[in-house]
């Protein structure tokens, strides 16, 4: 790999990227290659052609199936940084620098100048939570399958790079194939929906020890460099929390709306409120709140226990002025089907738990249609007389 990269010359410095010390973090796994190109913050936007040249050089190496090269602004100044920075390009790879510019004293870029364009995808919906452990991914995959059951063409992106769960939840293994154009990956297929996750590209036990800019680079490439085709809805299973990666995703991706998942107890609702307010600050419509693990029904006696309390998410939705989308119980069948790669909406569609997810999916479907209608009304109309 290094021999191939030595043929790539940084035009600013007049030397190859390996000798300049710009390449780090090379990982090779079953023909899939990942590496980092370290640049200075002010270089970010105009180094995109160099990033692509590095990818093309490695793609030409026999046996390489896919390449992910990520720009990261963690490098100290070098000869390559002597030239004045160019303005950031719209839709380029300056995500790492717009998202993390505040750490180096540079202002964040305006979200509207950085939006990714995904041709063929009508609506993108984020499923998010203020904290981990509330069943966000289980909710995301079952909402996706619920929308598919309603006749929608659906994809799901596992945006949780540090803890990807979609391969296991969907029961999918293996590597994505290259698309016909040779530049993009085909999404994996499971239960009638398209899926992409970093978990398809690295071994399940491999830890992702990446900085924020590297994470954002991988996420953007899973959005942009995947042949999603024509989709009615792309569900994005967001990372938990409200950190820089989540905020940048909310700013970079043209979201039709967001679904917030929480459990009923106060501590989870506190974090859910933060997540909801984050989306509102970046002008992403909040479609509503789902209360997961809402109550427990004993599979033996049928008795009900409110393990984490009950109704907290409904009350919080009322306080925050957003819709309550529904509640899902804490039940062993949901856990078993998720762990077993057989999501309950697909594997047991007539169960009461699947019906709970289907009711939420119907509300989300209606909300998406409403959101798209409002977006269309905001667009300028050109009338030819």
Query: Which one, of 149, 138, 201, 164, lies nearest residue 338 by Cα?
Result: 138
pLDDT at position 77 over 50: no
Determine the average pLDDT of the residues in 322-337: 88
- Neighbour tally for 319: CB within 10 Å: 10
Range ranked top by mean pLDDT from 71-85, 276-290, 356-370: 356-370
pLDDT for position 96: 34
Same fold, 2-113 and 121-377: no
Greater model confidence, 131 or 340? 340
Q: How confident is the model at residue 203 (pLDDT cuts 50, 70, 90)?
A: low
- The structure's pTM equals 0.69
pLDDT at position 350 over 90: yes
pLDDT for position 80: 35
pLDDT for position 278: 85
pLDDT for position 191: 95
pLDDT for position 168: 93
pLDDT for position 104: 36
Determine the average pLDDT of the residues in 139-160: 95
Task: Judge contact between 70 and 218, C-beta under 8 A.
Answer: yes
pLDDT at position 318 over 90: no
Q: How confident is the model at residue 264 (pLDDT cuts 50, 70, 90)?
A: confident
Q: How confident is the model at residue 374 (pLDDT cuts 50, 70, 90)?
A: low
β-bridge mates for residue 286, sequence order: 258
The reply to whether CATH 3.40.50.300 applies to domain 2-113 is no
Tell me how far apart the alpha carbons of residues 63 and 210 are, in angstroms, rounded to a whole number.
25
pLDDT at position 251 over 90: no
Phi then psi dihedrals of residue 375, to 5 deg: -65, -40
> What would the two tokens of residue 129 be?
């939570």
Q: How confident is the model at residue 42 (pLDDT cuts 50, 70, 90)?
A: low
pLDDT at position 269 over 80: no
pLDDT at position 245 over 90: no
Query: CB within 8 A of 301, min separation 6: which ones?
Result: none
Q: In residues, how long is the chain?
A: 385
Tell me how far apart the alpha carbons of residues 154 and 303 are, in angstroms, rounded to a whole number.
37
User: What's domain 121-377's superfamily in CATH?
Assistant: P-loop containing nucleotide triphosphate hydrolases (3.40.50.300)
Where exactly are the structural domains of the chain? 2-113, 121-377
Tell me how far apart the alpha carbons of residues 237 and 259 are, in angstroms, rounded to a whole number.
10
């Amino acid at each position: 790999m290094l021999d191939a990269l030595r043929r790539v010359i940084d035009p600013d410095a007049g030397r190859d990227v390996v000798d300049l010390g710009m390449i780090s973090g090379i990982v090779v796994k079953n023909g899939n290659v990942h590496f980092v190109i370290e640049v200075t913050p002010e270089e970010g936007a105009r180094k995109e052609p160099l990033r692509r040249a590095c990818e093309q050089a490695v793609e030409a190496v026999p046996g390489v199936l896919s390449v992910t090269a990520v720009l990261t602004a963690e490098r100290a100044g070098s000869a390559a940084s002597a030239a004045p920075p160019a303005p950031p390009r719209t839709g380029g790879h300056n995500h790492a620098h717009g998202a993390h510019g505040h750490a180096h004293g540079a202002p964040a870029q305006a979200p509207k100048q950085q939006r990714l364009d995904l041709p063929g995808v009508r609506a993108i919906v984020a499923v998010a939570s203020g904290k981990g452990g509330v069943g966000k991914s289980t909710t995301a995959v079952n909402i996706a399958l619920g929308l598919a059951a309603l006749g929608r063409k659906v994809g799901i992106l596992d945006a949780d790079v540090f803890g990807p769960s979609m391969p296991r939840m969907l029961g999918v293994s293996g590597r994505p194939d290259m698309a016909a154009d040779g530049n993009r990956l085909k999404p994996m297929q499971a239960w009638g929906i398209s899926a992409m996750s970093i978990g398809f590209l690295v071994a399940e036990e491999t830890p992702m020890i990446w900085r924020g800019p590297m994470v954002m680079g991988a996420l953007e490439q899973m959005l942009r460099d995947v042949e999603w085709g024509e989709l009615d809805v792309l569900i994005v299973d967001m990372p938990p929390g409200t950190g820089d990666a989540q905020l940048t995703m909310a700013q970079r991706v043209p979201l039709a709306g967001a679904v917030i998942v929480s459990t009923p107890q106060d501590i989870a609702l506190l974090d859910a409120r933060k997540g909801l307010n984050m989306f509102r600050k970046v002008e992403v419509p909040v479609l509503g709140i789902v209360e997961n693990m809402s109550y427990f029904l004993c599979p033996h006696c049928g008795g009900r226990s409110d393990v984490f309390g009950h109704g907290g998410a409904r009350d919080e939705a009322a306080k925050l002025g957003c819709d309550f989308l529904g509640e899902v119980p804490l039940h062993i069948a949901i856990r078993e089907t998720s762990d077993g790669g057989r999501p309950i909406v697909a594997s047991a569609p007539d169960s009461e738990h699947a019906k709970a997810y289907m009711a939420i999916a119907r509300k989300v479907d209606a909300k998406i249609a409403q959101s798209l209608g409002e977006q269309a009304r905001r667009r300028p109309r050109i009338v030819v007389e």
